[in-house]
Amino acid sequence: MSRLSLAVLLFGLVGAAFGGVLPNQYADWEGFIVGGSNANAGQFPYQVSLRSAANAHFCGGSIINNNWVLSAAHCTVGRTTANTIVVVGTLLLNAGGERHPSSQIINHPGYSALTLANDVSVVRVATPFVFTSTVAPVALEQNFVDSATNAQASGWGQTSNPGSLPNHMQWVNVNIITLAECRSRHNVVNAARVHDNTICSSSPTGIGMCMGDSGGPLSHDGRQQGIVSWGIACAQGFPDVFARVSSHRAWILENTAN
C-alpha cells in the first residue's frame, strides 16, 4: 500500500486507541519519534502515558491541572474509563510512575473521524495528582502562534519501522510552521484536513517527529501549543498536524473546571 493511498495515517497505536470504531483508511499504523533523544527526569513533567487495564501504552497526554489530562479524541473515542489508566512521573514504560484510574472521558463534540477536526479530549483521574518535580501541569497557550522554532514533541512513539515502543521517553525539537506552508506541502486530500484550528510542525527529512505519540503535547516556551493528531509517511518531510490548543482552550477549560 502506498503512503499516499492511505490519505491520512493517524498517530499512535490506532487499533488499541480506537477500539475499531474508525474506517479502514485510518488503521494499521503506529507512532514514531525519529532522531529523538532520551528525556531527562523533570524535563517533561506534564507528559503522561495512557494505558489499558493490561498496562499497554496506547497514547500520550498532558497534565493540565490536579484532576485532568489533555489528549486526542482519536485516542479516547470508544474507550471506557475502566480501560484507560493514566501513568505519570516516569520516563520508563516498564518501571516507576504513579497509576491513576480514570473516572471520566470527555471527547470534543465536534470531533470527526473523517476530517479529524477537533481532535481533542480530556480525561479525569479518580485520584488527584500530587505535584512534584516530575509531576506538574503544563500551561495552555492562549495566543495564535503562527510560526516558531525549537518547539518540543515528547512521548514514547516508535523510533523505527518496524520496531517496538522505546522504553525511555523520547523528545525532539521541531519547528512550528504556518498553516499556509503546511497545506502547500500536503496533497489536496490531506491539505483539506489542515483546519484553521490545527497547528503544524516540520523537521528535516529523516530527523525529528515523524508520526509521534498520539495525544501527546507539542510545547514551546513552556506552554502547550498542540495535541498530536495526524501525519503521513515517516520522516519524509511532510508536516505533522496537531489540534491547536489556543483554539480549543475555552472548551478545555470549561470542561475541566471542576
Whole-angstrom distance, CA of residue 195 vs CA of residue 107:
18
Catalytic positions, written as ranges:
74, 119, 214
Which of 133, 110, 125 minimizes the C-alpha distance to 256? 125
Give the residue among 111, 147, 121 at the shortest CA–CA distance from 62. Answer: 121
How far apart (Å, rounded) are the C-alpha atoms in residues 154 and 228? 10
Query: What kind and span of H or E run contains 180?
Result: helix 179-184
Cis ω before 162 (30° cut-off from 0): yes
Measured CA to CA, the distance from residue 168 to residue 55 in angstroms comes to 16
For residue 188, give every residue at least 6 positions away whose Cβ sits within 8 Å of its Cβ, in sequence order, or none.
none
